[in-house]
Structures are given as structure tokens and as C-alpha cells.
């Protein structure tokens, strides 16, 4: 089953990453980005 993120979920994710970057939590922001990329790769390989 394909699960696409809604616009609200994408906006929430981007705002979270922006807040981390604004508060100098660069490593945590990168970790979150890496997790999203890994999940996207898992999801796309399930098609």
C-alpha cells in the first residue's frame, strides 16, 4: 500500500527541521532528514 504524505505533514516536517536549524541543532536536523530519506526509500521500494 502506498502512503503519501499530506501537505500538512510535509509542512510540519519542514517547520520542525527549520526550528532545529534556527536553534543551532544542526546534527539533530540532519538526523531527522536522514530518517525521512530512509523511510522514503523503504516506502518507494515497497511499490
pLDDT tens digits along 1-47: 467 889 999 999 999 999 999 999 999 999 999 999 998 898 777 66
CA 25, 33, 31, 23: dihedral to nearest 10 degrees?
Answer: 10
Terminal-to-terminal C-alpha distance of the chain: 7
17: which residues sit within 8 A by CB, 6+ positions away?
29, 32, 33
What is the distance between the alpha carbons of residues 4 and 11, in angstroms, rounded to a whole number? 13
pTM given for the model = 0.78
pLDDT value of position 46:
67
pLDDT value of position 1:
47
Amino acid at each position: 500500500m502506498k502512503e503519501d504524505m499530506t501537505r500538512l505533514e510535509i509542512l510540519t516536517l519542514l517547520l520542525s527541521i527549520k526550528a532545529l536549524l534556527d536553534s543551532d541543532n544542526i546534527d539533530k536536523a540532519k538526523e531527522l532528514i536522514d530518517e525521512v530519506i530512509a523511510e522514503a526509500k523503504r516506502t518507494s521500494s515497497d511499490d
